[in-house]
Amino acid sequence: MTDHDAIAVEDFRPKFLSKTTMARKAADAAISATKNELVMMGRKHGRTVVLVDPKNTTKDCAVCGARAKHALPLSERTYTCTACGTVSSRGKTPRT
């Protein structure tokens, strides 16, 4: 089954997650190991794994690539592209 030929993952760097140097190093090591394992498993199964820079990922249109010119508040759960009109979700919709 080849449902996911390409996988894109944010190249996450958790500088803000921990207050101590030791905790920060442990978090960096764990995330690095996870990314490396994902890339190796992707290669093993013939998939393309792309690490995406997390900067502006919620402000870029997935269809045309245009970037929102205004800051998007977290309460705004959908993004409407001003260039092409595409409407997309900014993340998982909260359960009620």
Phi, psi of 76 (to 5 degrees): -85, 105
Distance of CA 24 to the CA centre of its chain: 20
Q: What is the pTM of this model?
A: 0.54
CA–CA separation, 46 and 51 (whole Å)? 16
Tens of each residue's pLDDT in the chain, 96 residues? 456 678 888 887 766 666 788 888 888 888 889 889 998 998 898 888 888 887 776 677 778 878 877 777 778 778 788 888 888 776 543 443
Tell me if 58 sits within 8 A of 51, measured CB to CB.
no
Measured between alpha carbons, how far apart are the two ends of the chain, in Å?
35
Helix, strand, coil share of the chain (percent; to 5): 25, 20, 55
Q: What is the residue type of 22?
A: M
Which of these, 59, 40, 49, 38, lies nearest to 5 by C-alpha position?
49
CA–CA separation, 71 and 79 (whole Å)? 11
